[in-house]
């Protein structure tokens, strides 16, 4: 570990980083229409729930932020939350949610 | 007379050594914090650019403790500077329920945000953490990246 090293990552973690981020980008491309539908639902009801692999994913709107909470079905696995600012335009709002959905489904980089 | 002075001086010195409040400047040291949290510099993740034509800004953080800890929570925030104040970009918190043994590292390496264009933007990371140590919550104060990095990444 070194402050000058922006990564802190071992070669194995670097590989895992690439895998997870690639999965996220593939999801953004391949699941776009599903994510756009989910985004519309979330913007209307301010809450959306889904399951992805080992995680229960809850999405909500709180103040000026989107929030995602990922709770694993096993207590041995890390839980996570993501927060993102809500942009101004409708197009940007949908785009930010597409990325939020993809990141939360892609999983964590261990 | 000299003997009395010497004895008096010795008594004062011994009292100073016995009372930590009086003698704190000379002998006691601040205890080392049991955990160390560090946050990296915001950087571009370009490894996947050739395949996906996507670049992301990323900040990693890492915590290491010299005591056992449980319920380790590490938060990483990505911020960008602006004319009318700084702007929050993205935040991710990870929570590990299990026990982490002394000397082992806990990372939050999952905080990233896709760049939408190549606008030169100045980014930095903020991280904070908490953990249960000896049954008590211990909090690590906000740590900032030691450099604000200009990156060709509009978000």
ipTM metric:
0.93
Asked whether the predicted pLDDT for residue B96 surpasses 60, the reply is: yes
Nearby residues of B58 by Cβ (< 8 Å), 6 or more positions away: B42, B43, B44, B45, B78, B111, B112, B113
- In this complex, do B60 and A25 lie within 8 Å of one another by their Cβ atoms? no
Using the 8-state DSSP alphabet, how is residue A46 labeled?
S
Q: What is the pLDDT of residues A16-37, one digit of tens each?
A: 999 999 999 999 999 999 999 9
Using the 8-state DSSP alphabet, how is residue A36 labeled?
H
Q: Are residues B9 and B85 in the same domain?
A: no
Q: Are residues B22 and B39 in the same domain?
A: no
d(C-alpha B93, C-alpha B78), whole Å: 12
Query: What is the pLDDT of chain B when averaged over all its residues?
Result: 84
- In this complex, do A83 and B91 lie within 8 Å of one another by their Cβ atoms? yes
d(C-alpha B59, C-alpha B75), whole Å: 11
Q: Which residues of A touch B (CB under 8 A)?
A: 1, 3-9, 13, 17-18, 20-22, 25-26, 28-29, 75-76, 78-85, 95, 99, 103, 108-110
Residue B141 gets the label, from left (phi > 0), alpha (psi -120 to 50) or beta, of: beta
Q: What is the pLDDT of residues B112-141, one digit of tens each?
A: 999 999 999 999 999 999 999 999 999 999
Asked whether the predicted pLDDT for residue B5 surpasses 70, the reply is: no
Q: Are residues B72 and B87 in the same domain?
A: yes
Confidence band, pLDDT 50/70/90 cuts, at residue B2: low
The tally of domains found in chain A comes to 1
User: What phi and psi, each to the nearest 5 degrees, are found at residue A15?
Assistant: -65, -45
The pTM score is 0.85
CATH of the domain at B123: 2.60.40.10
């Amino acid at each position: 570990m070194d402050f000058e090293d922006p990564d802190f990552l071992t070669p194995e973690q670097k590989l895992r980083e690439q895998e997870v981020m690639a999965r996220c980008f593939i999801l953004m491309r391949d699941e776009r229409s599903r994510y756009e539908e989910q985004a519309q639902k979330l913007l209307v009801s301010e809450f959306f729930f889904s399951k992805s692999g080992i995680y229960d994913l809850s999405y909500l709107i709180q103040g000026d932020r989107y929030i995602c909470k990922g709770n694993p079905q096993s207590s041995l696995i890390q839980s996570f939350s993501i927060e993102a600012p809500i942009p101004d335009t409708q197009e940007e709002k949908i785009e930010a949610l597409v990325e939020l959905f993809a990141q939360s489904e892609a999983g964590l980089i261990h | 007379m000299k003997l009395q002075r010497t004895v008096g001086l010795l008594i004062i010195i011994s009292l100073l050594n016995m009372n930590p409040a009086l003698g704190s400047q000379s002998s006691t040291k601040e205890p080392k914090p049991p955990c160390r949290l560090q946050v990296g510099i915001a950087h571009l993740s370009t490894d996947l650019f050739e395949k996906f034509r996507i670049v992301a800004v990323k900040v990693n953080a890492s915590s290491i403790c010299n005591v056992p800890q449980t319920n380790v929570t590490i938060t990483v925030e990505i911020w960008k500077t602006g004319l009318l104040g700084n702007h929050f970009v993205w935040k991710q918190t990870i929570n590990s329920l299990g026990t982490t043994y002394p000397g082992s590292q806990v990372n939050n390496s999952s905080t990233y945000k896709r760049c939408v264009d190549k606008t030169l933007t100045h980014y930095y990371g903020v991280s904070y953490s908490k953990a249960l140590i000896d049954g008590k919550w211990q909090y690590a104060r906000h740590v900032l990246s030691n450099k604000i990095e200009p990156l060709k990444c509009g978000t």
